[in-house]
Structure 1
């Protein structure tokens, strides 16, 4: 008996949104098996006699596209079985498809990707994809992304770019959003959800975005203003802010998240040895006396919490999500305090914890240190990344060079 493949609206089941799921139904040898497509419609918008969405159905074209693709995939599978004269049942055909069809719509794929990253403890990455998903939802007027990845073509990208610009977003934000969208599309290609030749980023290049940012490094004089400031009689937050900024600068521009995760195990024979949270690269630096003094200030906390600095606590911040939320919260507080601190010291530049990292690299460069050494200290896997940090030469350096012409 031939296998019959159809897409139905399973009206006997009503979801929380008041809609009913669309199911692929396979009938063979008197037995039927169904599987959800991961999308739903209001039964009022479904023509049960023709098994297709009515003309007034929202996202009708996208739904029809998903239906057509699903029918073709299963029909192709059946034809392949028949040509090879392989035995199969309705149930085996459904189960066999589960591995190859992981997601049908952009909505489903994004949500499954975000959840997968959370389960793996990659909270930072999950937030990046969640941000991308939410931005696309806003672009879609708050509606679910119930369309396939082939819907995201060059025309879609141009409209998405125009929409973001109309919201006042700069090129750096646009570049970030499109890089995340491109990464998601590539993952969908790897999962065989969309054909590689459909990739719009073959033609739609992200290089047209101007991502050059204002240099964030402070002068050595401004850095010393912060480090040498006496915060003894200041608030706990001001003291912590001063210590964390100074420690970051003194220890190779170590990032805030890496500082937060340091424990006594990272101190070995007066050396700071740790693995970067972002790139997992290994860092091994000699601890200066000044850096060691900062660590020693928090010895009481270290015995209780197991971490070097009062950011994370071993008994209160256990899961990756708890740790990520805590680091984000304290980083925000420290950055707010840093801005006030810098203003009091007469520093006009924008100062954040990240500025310590850029300043470390720039000041070493001006001191004549080899860029390869700076790159290793920063934990960069590619010197090109370090070159982005260091940006172009300062105007005064160019001016001095021009004096040598005559």
Structure 2
């Protein structure tokens, strides 16, 4: 090895309060020389011995972890230098020195990384989680909260957060949405510093993040017919109805994927369109699954009715987003369009005495239900939906409401 790294107590000169600086010692085996680096940590001789003990007492654990985190960071930087040299080490060590005991720093790094990868909605979700934690710590002034030490996040702390959320009218679903990013950040911190493992607060015997099964609503066949034949009161309802049924007929394709369809994805000659789900393109790059959708006469009419005049292969089919939009603008426009479809399809469905709760999600759920009720097996439905794992499809179908489960039971027992 070209280097040796350790934390030492520089007891040559005491500070005004009688403490001495802890320093990072880096020894180069190539140059046969060592350097000491300031890490802004000061301790008495007794405290340093207690902190660096193999099994530090509870009152010293926070500082022990902080020193191990600094040492681990230095090890990682030195490991990536070939050959090891002091100038490059110093540049990287001091250029990226942040408090790796503060969970909020992990959040900030993750959010910036997601924005850089155009994962705008995920970044927004993590930012909402971060804001919720800060509100819990200081409801009166959450912006004043800048630090949450990783080892302060324990089972008791998480139970208090859960109670705080419930007391403020939040659901278990919301709690789960906010705590999953926290768990992800803790896992990253633990991978960088194994010392956090013994403090891990999640999982069996510790705090378990609430996981609720959301009941998936779908229209029955009779209501699908009524909605399809319903006469829109205006052009806005007509457009909402067209896109809702386009989603339904195209394997329950969601509005995000419809908005991002490009002309190169559609082949009228082969009667099909192909796409990759936006939801999985960044999370399962090694197992991307192309979804093929058969074009019906209805879907062809809708596409022709609303497609742009420009038909270059790389251009978007519909005038929902444009190539010039930033990633953030695309997300905002797609959310606005989805809201537009939801608002007007609800009015149409309500006017025809179907339901006032319908949304674009119902199109996907209705497609899945109709496929299942028509005898399609789970593997085929999973292929239609773009699931890479049959477990995902099973979990997805398990969320359907009792009316649809009853329809399936009636179908398979109609000979009795």
Question: Shorter-normalised TM-score: what interval?
Answer: 0.7 to 0.9
Corresponding residue for residue 344 of structure 1: 351
Residues 119, 73 of structure 1: alpha-carbon distance in 2 compared, 3 angstrom cutoff: closer
In 2, the alpha carbon distance for the partners of 1:24 and 1:225 equals: 75
Does residue 394 in structure 1 map to residue 408 in structure 2?
no
1:366 Cα deviation after fit: 0.7
1:109-120 paired onto structure 2 within 5 Å: 109-120=106-117
In 1, the alpha carbon distance for the partners of 2:349 and 2:73 equals: 66
The CA RMSD measured in Å over matched residues stands at: 4.1
Residues 207, 355 of structure 1: alpha-carbon distance in 2 compared, 3 angstrom cutoff: farther
TM normalised by structure 2 equals 0.73
Does residue 270 in structure 1 map to residue 271 in structure 2?
yes
Corresponding residue for residue 241 of structure 1: 240
Corresponding residue for residue 369 of structure 1: 376
Residues 192, 89 of structure 1: alpha-carbon distance in 2 compared, 3 angstrom cutoff: same
**Contact 1:218/1:349 (<8 A) preserved:** no
**Contact 2:221/2:370 (<8 A) preserved:** yes
1:230 Cα deviation after fit: 3.5
Corresponding residue for residue 133 of structure 1: 130
Range with bigger deviation, 300-309 or 373-382: 300-309
Q: Secondary structure of the residue that 2:299 maps to in structure 1? A: helix
TM normalised by structure 1 equals 0.74
* Partner deviation per Cα, 1:328-382 (whole Å, 9 max, x = no partner): 2221222122222211121125211111001100011111111111110000122
**Contact 1:335/1:351 (<8 A) preserved:** yes
**Contact 2:103/2:185 (<8 A) preserved:** no
In 1, the alpha carbon distance for the partners of 2:252 and 2:384 equals: 8
Unaligned residue ranges in structure 1 (runs of 5+):
7-22, 38-63, 82-86
**Contact 1:218/1:359 (<8 A) preserved:** yes
Residues 220, 205 of structure 1: alpha-carbon distance in 2 compared, 3 angstrom cutoff: farther
Work out which of the residue numbers 119, 123, 144 in structure 2 matches 1:122: 119
Corresponding residue for residue 103 of structure 1: 100
1:402 Cα deviation after fit: 7.9
Residues 77, 288 of structure 1: alpha-carbon distance in 2 compared, 3 angstrom cutoff: closer
Corresponding residue for residue 53 of structure 1: none
1:99 Cα deviation after fit: 7.1
In 2, the alpha carbon distance for the partners of 1:159 and 1:246 equals: 45
1:148 Cα deviation after fit: 2.0
Corresponding residue for residue 161 of structure 1: 162
Q: Secondary structure of the residue that 1:202 maps to in structure 2? A: coil
Corresponding residue for residue 46 of structure 2: none
